[in-house]
Amino acid sequence: MLSSHYPFKLPPLPYAYDALEPHIDAETMHIHHDIMFKKYVDNLNAVLRANPIYQDWSLYDLLAYNDDFNEEVGTAIRNNGGGVFNHYLYFDGMTPEKNEPTGQLKTAVIRDFGSFDNLCACMKAAALTQFGSGYAWLMFDGTSKLRIVKTPNQDPPPLLILQPILLVDVWEHAYFLKYKQERDKYFDAWCSLIDWNKASKRFTAG
């Protein structure tokens, strides 16, 4: 997705809408993907339609070099381009098929967090302490050290410094229908849905 450019298209879900039940319900998936995610895709295309000079820029460049834009355009691209990438990685990072970290990522998790349970605990702390809406991320730096980062709203992470592996969406629309205000229970459910195979590929590709 980071290599894509204008016009952006809404990626389909990589599984059925009800595939993640009972952890995430089909109604939430329809609203979150078909309405919320699509809104960011449409809005980003509208911004770039009005600023054709940036239409051949990849999503990565639009987000990584966002500080180079004037304030109005930069804010619109950060909000909507971040919404596109963040949602893509969120939906693409889950699976109904139970799997576990393997290979280099497994080694790095044990090295940097001691255990997978401790990794989830650290990510949970970031997710629960993110004030308001936002995301908690698992990323890695230039030395392949794993880092946990949290970002507000639809802000992208610092892509020039860290590379993303996976993230959890803690906007209320991601969980409120099923979990109400219990973000902690939603996080625990999300943690059981992580697609570690894709996460491992992102880590080794970086």
Q: What is the pLDDT along the chain (206 residues), one digit of tens a residue?
A: 889 999 999 999 999 999 999 999 999 999 999 999 999 999 999 999 999 999 999 999 999 999 889 999 999 999 999 999 999 999 999 999 988 888 999 999 999 999 999 999 999 999 999 999 999 999 999 999 999 999 999 999 999 999 999 999 999 999 999 999 999 999 999 999 999 999 999 999 86
Q: What does the block give as tokens for 182?
A: 């219990």
Distance CA 41, CA 185 (A): 29
Distance CA 92, CA 12 (A): 10
- The whole-number pLDDT of residue 31 equals 97
- The whole-number pLDDT of residue 14 equals 96
Tell me which H or E stretch contains 92: helix 71-92
Q: What does the block give as tokens for 108?
A: 């790095």
Q: In the chain, what are the domains?
A: 26-92 (1.10.287.990), 103-205 (3.55.40.20)
The values of phi and psi at residue 142, to 5°, are: -65, -15
CB 135 within 8 A of CB 150: yes
- The whole-number pLDDT of residue 2 equals 84
- The whole-number pLDDT of residue 100 equals 87
- The whole-number pLDDT of residue 15 equals 98
